[in-house]
Structure 1
Amino acid sequence: MGIRVLPAALLSICCAFPVWAQTQTPSYGLQLEGFNYAWPARHFTFTSQGQSLEMAYLDIRPEKANGQVAVLMHGKNFCSDTWEGTIRLLSEQGYRVIAPDQIGFCKSSKPAAYQFSFQQLAENTHQLLNHLGITRFRLMGHSTGGMLATRFALMYPDSVSQLILVDPVGLEDLKRKGVPYRTIDQWYQKELKTTAASIRKYEQHTYYAGEWQPEWDKWVNMLAGMYNGPGKQRIAWNSAQLYDMIYTQPVMYEWGDLHMPVLLMVGKKDNTAPGKDGAPPSVQATLGNYAVLGKEAASKMPHATLVEFDNLGHAPQIQDPAVFNAALLKGMAAVSGK
C-alpha cells in the first residue's frame, strides 16, 4: 500500500490541535492502580464505620533530618503525589514528610457506604499519625485539604506547631452566599459526565489563571483516568459525597479558634467556589474572590500571616513553584516547628 499524503489544508487542521487533544485518556483502577507516584505508596489498614479500610500515604525521610515533620493534605481534585514538588523541597530542608490520600481519594479505599465529614477524615489521619508515632508537626492543606487541615487543627491543636493553608476552599459559606443545594444524587449524575476535557477546562480557568503547561496534563490524566476506569461509578459517588461535605460543613466560623501560627497563602486570581455553576449569574460574580477572601480570613485568625500571589490561581505550588517555594520557606522559617 502506498503512502497517502494529506492535503495541506487538512494537515494544518490536524496539526493545529495541541498534543493532549490527540492522546487517549488512560484507564486507572478504583484505587488509582496503573498510575505511579514519585515514591512508593504505603498503606495503613484501620477500621472506620464498621469497615476495614486502607489509607495510602507517602512517608519521605530526608537524607539530613532536621527533626521536624510536615504533614500535607491534598485537595478535592488532587492526590498526595500532586505535592511532589513541595515534598522534594521540604525533604531537602530536612523535613520528614507524610502525605496521605484521604479515604475516598486516589490510592485509598473507596467505600460504597460511608458518612464523609471533615471530622471523620481528620480522625482517620490522626490514627495514621499515631500509628507512625508522630505527635507534633507542621500541617499544610491545599484547597479542600485546607478545610480538612483547619478541622484537624481545631480538633488536635496541641499536635500542630504551624498551620499552612494554600488557597483553601471554605473561605466563604457557599450556602449563605446563595449557591443552591445539590443533592448527592444530583452531584453523582454531574460527576458521571467528567472527562479529561472538562477537567482541563476547569483547571485552566481556575487553578492556573488561564495558563496551561504540558506538564500539567499529568494531573489531568491522573484524575480523568479514574473516571475512565472500571471503578467510575464508585469514584463518582464518593466525589458526590465529598462535594456535599464541602457545602454543608463550613469552617470559616471558627477562624478565631485557631491559636497556633497560621500561614495563609492565596493566589489572587483564584476564583474557586464549588457548585457556583448552579447559582444565578449575579451570584456567581460574587463568589471565589480570593483577593478579598484571603484578607478577610486572615483578619479573623489570631496569629495569621497572609501571603498573596498577584498573578497565580488556585494551585500556586504547581503553577509557579519557584515563587511559591520561596514564600513557603520564608513563612516556615518565621515559626519554630518544635
Structure 2
Amino acid sequence: MPRRLLPAIIATLLLLSPSPAPAAGDAAREPYGIDLEGFAYPHPVQLLPLVNDGEQLRMAYMDVAPTQPNGRTVVLLHGRNFPSSYWAPVIRTLSEQGYRVVVPDQIGFGKSSKPAGDLHFDTLARNSIALLDHLQLGKVDIVAHSLGGMLGVRIARATPERIAHLLLAAPIGLEDYRLYVPPTPTETIIETEDKLTAEGYRKQLETNYALKLPPDQVTPFIDARFNIKGAADYPRWLHAFAASAQMIYREPVVHEIPLITVPTLFVMGADDHNAPGKPSAPEALRPKMGQNAELAKALAARMPNARAEVLADAGHLVFLEQPERFDQLMLQFLAK
C-alpha cells in the first residue's frame, strides 16, 4: 500500500470507529444531538441555508428585537468552547438599550451544521456577511469573544464598510501560535479530545481560562460539550472540533490587527493567559505565551483608532466575570 495513503486511512478509521464507553461521571448524561438538539437557548433559533465548499449546511442564529429600537444592530460572535447561548446576559443588556441583537452559531459550532471538511476564517466571515444580507442589515456593530475575536478581525478587514464598531472581548489570536507550538496532526487532536472526561474538561476550563465563575455557571458548558457523546454522529462533531483547532493554528490574524481601521476596543481580563496549544509548546517557550492583556495594549497602540481596557479579577470569560464593568465599557463604546 502506498505510504502517502496511510494518513487518510488512519483519519477515516478514527472517525468511523466507535467512541470508548463513557466514564462513570458521564454514564447518566442524556444525549444531545451534535447540533445541540435538546440544549436550550435563551431565544428562538432560526436556520439559514448555506453552501460551503459544495456542502449543504445550515447556520443557526438568534435574532432578538428590542422593545424600543434605537435603529442599531449588534452581532455577537462566540468562542470555540461555548454555545452562543452564553451571550444571554449581554443580549439582555443590549436589548434593554434598544439594540437589535443577532447571535449566530458559526458553521461547525453550537446548533449549526458540522461540516465534513476543513474550517476557514474567510468562509466563516462570508457566512456572517451572508447572514447580514439575509436579514437586510447594512452596517452593524460587532462584539466578539475568544475565537470570535479572530473572526471579527477577519470580517473587519474584509468588509470594513459593514462594521461601525468592533469590540474584542478577551480575543485569542493576539499572537502567532505557530511561533511557539509545533504542528499537531488532526488525528492526534481527535484522539485527545475523545479521551477527555467531563471532570477533566472542567479542570481544563478552570486552568486555561482562569475561571472565576461558580461551578453551577460552568456546568452548562460541560453539558453542551459532553452530552453529545451519546449521539450516533458524534465522530462528525469531533472532526469539526479538531478542524476549528487547526483553523486557529493555521490562520493567524495578529498580523492583520494593526491594519483595522474601524473603531476598536479590546476588553481584557487581567488574569487571562489563555494560549491555544500552550501545553504542546517547548517548556522554555510556554511562559512567553498568553500575555494577552499586554499584547492587546501593544496592538491597540499600533492601530489608528483603538484602545485596550484591562479588568482586574477577570479571566477569559470577562463579560460573565465582570458583567457590570463590561456592560459599562461596551455601552459607552457603542454610543460613540
TM-score above 0.5: yes
- Give the alignment partner of residue 29 of structure 1, picking from 27, 30, 33: 33
Query: Partner residue of 2:234?
Result: 232
Give 3-state SS (helix, strand or coil) of 2:296's partner: helix
Give 3-state SS (helix, strand or coil) of 1:71's partner: strand
- Cα distance, 1:195 vs. partner? 2.5
Q: Which runs of 5+ in 1 are unaligned?
A: 1-20
The structure whose Rg is larger is: 1
- Cα distance, 1:222 vs. partner? 1.5
- Asked if the contact 1:209/1:269 (under 8 Å) is kept, the reply is no
Structure-1 separation of matches of 2:221 and 2:264: 28
- Asked if the contact 1:73/1:142 (under 8 Å) is kept, the reply is yes
**TM-score, normalising length from structure 1?**
0.88
- Cα distance, 1:209 vs. partner? 4.0
- Give the alignment partner of residue 88 of structure 2, picking from 84, 91, 96: 84
Q: Which runs of 5+ in 2 are unaligned?
A: 1-24
- Match status 1:158 vs 2:161: yes
Structure-2 separation of matches of 1:23 and 1:166: 35
- Give the alignment partner of residue 115 of structure 1, picking from 98, 115, 118: 118
One-letter amino acid matched to 2:167: I
Structure-2 separation of matches of 1:28 and 1:245: 25
Structure-2 separation of matches of 1:297 and 1:227: 40
One-letter amino acid matched to 2:61: Y
- Cα distance, 1:165 vs. partner? 0.4
Query: Partner residue of 2:42?
Result: 38
Distance 1:215 1:232, change over 3 A: same
- Asked if the contact 2:35/2:114 (under 8 Å) is kept, the reply is yes
- Cα distance, 1:232 vs. partner? 2.1
- Cα distance, 1:144 vs. partner? 0.3
Structure-1 separation of matches of 2:232 and 2:304: 47
Query: Partner residue of 2:140?
Result: 137
Structure-2 separation of matches of 1:210 and 1:79: 19
One-letter amino acid matched to 1:90: L
Structure-2 separation of matches of 1:83 and 1:270: 19
One-letter amino acid matched to 1:36: A
Between the aligned residues of both structures, percent identity stands at 36
Distance 1:55 1:296, change over 3 A: same
One-letter amino acid matched to 2:151: L
- Give the alignment partner of residue 56 of structure 2, picking from 31, 52, 55: 52
Give 3-state SS (helix, strand or coil) of 1:297's partner: helix
RMSD: 1.7
**TM-score, normalising length from structure 2?**
0.89
- Asked if the contact 2:319/2:327 (under 8 Å) is kept, the reply is yes
Give 3-state SS (helix, strand or coil) of 1:264's partner: strand
Query: Partner residue of 2:108?
Result: 104
- Asked if the contact 1:227/1:236 (under 8 Å) is kept, the reply is no
Distance 1:172 1:212, change over 3 A: same
- Cα distance, 1:211 vs. partner? 5.2
